[in-house]
Amino acid sequence: MPADAPDVARVVVATPLPQLDRLLEYRVPAALVGRVGPGMRVRVPLRSGKRVLPAYVVEVVDEAEYAGDLAEIEELVSEAPVLTPEIAALAREVADRQAGTAADVLRLAIPERSVRVEQRWLEVRGEPVARDAETVIDIPEPPATYTPDDWAELTGGDDRRIALRVPTGVDTVHPPGRREPVGVPRALGLIADLATTYVAAGRDVIVAVPDFRDVELLGAALEVRLPADRIRRLDTRAKPAVRYRDFLACLGDEAGVVIGTRSVVYAPASRLACVIVWDDGDDSFEEPLAPYAHTREVALARQRREGTTLVLAAHAPSVETERLVEIGWLRPVAPTRFRPPKIVPSNAVIGDEAGARGARIPSAAWRLAREALDSGPVLVQVARAGYVPGLACDSCRTLARCRACGGPLRLARAGAAPTCAVCGTTNAGWRCPECGGERLRSIAVGAGRTAEELGRAFPGVRVVVADGETGLVSIGAAPALVVSTRGAEPVPAQGYRAVLLLDGERLLAREALDVGLEALRYWSSAAALLADRGSAVLVGAEEGPGRALVDWRQPAYAAAELADRRALEFPPAVRVGTVSGTAAEVDRALDAVRDLDGVRILGPVPDDDGSVRATIRFGYAAGAEVARRLKVEIVKAATSGRPAVAGRPRGRGSTLRVRLDPPHLF
């Protein structure tokens, strides 16, 4: 070991305690000097060695900033440099923006360790990789649907920010090693072409997609374009060892494409050229764990830090993307040679008969489905999963609720007793508390009941139910009726011959700010799976988002929605946050930001758990200072509890919680 080797390690401790959210310095023991390096996992003592916690080494330096004696690192857990400098800096930026801790971000960024996988990776690290000439990667031809300038903008270099509209339709690919061909949406095929172009040039690409279905389909598209070892999947559904293996592969010197769900945006990549987020409006990108940073916001932060190309691709852009387009941060790119899918509103194909207008599936939709089934599968999209997800008294229409907890009742299958959707209690012998009636009627029809009705209407036709529980990703080209909930549509090998979009009015009847945008996005994604000569029928909701769907003018609808939100000061025109805790804690936190320009405080109001909650609105320019001041209050609250004293109970811990940019607040 060199005599002048640095022996002071600065680490970030893997703890959610806000008072420890900073770099801590430790002395590297003599036996580990020269072995401990940036990115490695270690264990360090706290409070005079009474506790030992995991940590990541951020840097190793010659001299400490702290003037006193330093505690020593307890143990070197792993020599794999799993925390790169870029991800360490990104974690710090995301935590600061969200008033959270870097440790919480790293918990999302770095997967669980597999010792056996890691040992094998360390053994072969740095060994040359032998390749045959046939593994040379061909650069895809520019698609005819975009101009050469647009394609050059997408693939020509770094520091580009693009809102990309993608073509519709389905192409058939036959990945090596698979028996049957697979249908891949052309949107994902285009993303695969973009990624391949960068990888062929020796650069890395990260692609974030909403769920496991998209990971599987994008993987199939990439398998026919790239060698298998250039594709890394960071899918949370994968086994921990497999996920950790692909994570370590991202640390290598060979260019590749990293695909995955929400947290893939944190993947390490030494030559990162492009980050692509597919369908950023999908609520799967909303992080449910602290510090609650949306995948799109992390991608934007990473683009600013590393100067990469950023592509937000979608059929129906989110209102957040539209805002970035309007302020000039994103450049819109759309197909120039493009024929939108044929979508017919139900009111255009039915007469004035009241019965026809009230039907859940109009006769014209029945005819379209019957004709389309002669040549291939037909998709029926419904709003709700289950069999009968909503029940009411047949006499007075009072909602049927559980006798035990008051939750809504539902039917799991035909002939079953009603059960509670909340606690699962069976409510046999239910009686209406208002009129005493004993008969129930359905007020909502789910995918299971719809499939049962269609099976009777189309005898001899295979009926497939696809929802969040079935996990169906793709189907063949044979005729079938596919009844699917929103976002769970399997992709047929050659596209759907027809698509029926049901329950439009019910879908828009929910009380939520994003209801129109969500409906338009779900409808657009389903219609985009049509075969080239297929047609879709939208039942109900012909105006607003329905009209935007029929005209295929989703950006215009997002722009109108953004204008309305600016007038009402709703996100994303402004940023919002919630502050909850005891009344005293919330008051102190609100006092810390009350004097900032543009900050508006709503509340506080009592919350369901006995605490209080306040909502704050603030402009983007004030965001950094709002987050900093609220973080200070979080640390104060966490460290102000009464310390433990012999013979006296410890003071109650802080309940102050801050969440910035919470989804579905209004």
Q: Which residues are annotated as a binding site for Zn(2+)?
A: 393, 396, 402, 405, 420, 423, 432, 435
β-strand partners of 463: 481
- Name the one residue in this structure whose structure tokens are 């020593």: 72
Query: Known binding site: residues?
Result: 393, 396, 402, 405, 420, 423, 432, 435
Angle between helices 319-326 and 554-568 (to 10 degrees): 80
DSSP 350-404: S-S-HHHHH-SS-HHHHHHHHHHTTTS-EEEEES--SSB-EEEETTT-PBPB-TT
Tokens of 102: 């870097």
Residue 207, SS3 per DSSP: strand
- 580 φ, ψ to 5°? -130, 160
How long is the chain? Answer: 666
Burial of 425 (0-12, 13-18, 19+ CB in 10 A): middle
Strands 463-466 and 481-485: parallel
**Rounded CA separation 401/389 (Å):** 12
**Rounded CA separation 165/146 (Å):** 10
CA angle 343, 488, 267 (to 5 degrees): 115
CA distances from 41 to 116, 309, 355, 409, 525 (A): 16, 31, 68, 50, 42
Residue 126, SS3 per DSSP: coil
Measured in whole angstroms, the distance separating CA 30 from the mean position of its chain's CA atoms is: 45
Tokens of 30: 């003599």
**Rounded CA separation 88/105 (Å):** 9
